Amino acid sequence: MTDLFAFVLVFAGLCSQIWLIRELLREVMHDPQSDHPKQRSASRYPALAVIAGLAIAIPAHADDPTGTGTGTGTGTGTGTGTGTGTGTGTTAPPAEKPLVISTDRPSFDDTAGIVPKGHLQLETGYTFTLNNHGADTQTNNAPEILARYTLVEDRFELRLSTSGYVWSRTDSGGQSSTAEGFSDAMVGFKLKITDQEGWMPRLVLEGATTVGAGSDGISNQDVEPIGKLIWQYDLGKGWGVYGNFNVAYATTPGSGRFVQGQAGVCVTYAASDKLSFYGEFFTFAPNAKGTSPAYYLDTGAAYLLTDRVQLDARVGFGIGRQSNNFFTGAGISFLF
């Protein structure tokens, strides 16, 4: 029965990705300024696919006790020696692997990794965003902060995050306006459902919500929960792939609440023990209440200064008028 649920989960995920590709092609092939009702209604389908995948996956695996851990350990054994005499002895315990930082940034998609128990991980960064659809808006925010602490080894992690302080400037029709202030904070968790086994990916459930803080004109100052189903495969030889199926209860200022589907897929390659690269596609569907979806492509790299300090950088661009034109950023992360 568990295998059947797992098959349904993966099938739902594949259907969701097919819908995303279909909607992307529709956005590219049609007039980006069109607001035809059929095009707006089509943007609901990716959200429905995401919701379906999440709804199927949670009950199928929430109580699944199977899976192998990823931690390291030591032990002793006995054996018989040969030479001038015989006897028994204790084998030397295997050396523990050093802890190496593994971050969720800089990609949009979160990974299925969980911080080692008893360690605090701090991921920080800066992002610049450009949107010139109509008005020319440039936004800077820093420091982006994600703090992570694990209570149960390779199972349950607590999270606290914020996009930091925001500076924004808009130029339109010869007039300029600025806005600045603090963004909202988010509290959340990660819960591992199962490890990778055969065709079954490693699965992690993540939940979070804003707390309704932040500055006027920057933060919506409301509680906006989000649920994420994270899947991840280690493909071997340095390659990996992971993705997210998300559902958020978001707010559009002046328009009210709406359900937003979010999804993405990210391919990674470790060129060496220190350097890795990624490429990613992700979407928000709809981008805001009553609009069509927004699509993005980005790529980036991460470099280990030490086993517990990582540098990262990324660059990306949007597809269609609902998306920001360009974004880039950099960061540094620490495992304490």
DSSP symbols for 219-279: ---S--EEEEEEEEEEEETTEEEEEEEEEEEEEETTTEEEEEEEEEEEEEEESSSSEEEEE
Judged against a pLDDT cut of 90, whether residue 34 lies above it is answered with: no
Provide the number of structural domains found in the chain. 2
- Claim to verify: residue 236 and residue 317 sit in the same structural domain: yes
Is position 114 within any domain?
no
pTM tops 0.75, yes or no? no
225-240: pLDDT as tens digits: 999 999 999 999 999 9
Q: Over the chain, what is the mean pLDDT?
A: 81
What does the pLDDT read at residue 69?
A: 35
pLDDT at 97: 79
Domain that holds residue 128: 120-335
Which range has the top average pLDDT, 37-46, 75-84, 88-97, 104-113?
104-113
Same domain, 206 and 275: yes
Given a cut of 70, whether residue 88 has pLDDT beyond it is no
Q: Provide the pLDDT confidence category of residue 43 given band limits of 50, 70 and 90.
A: very low
The residue type found at 313 is A
- Claim to verify: residue 41 and residue 140 sit in the same structural domain: no
Backbone angles phi, psi at 31, to 5 degrees: -60, 120
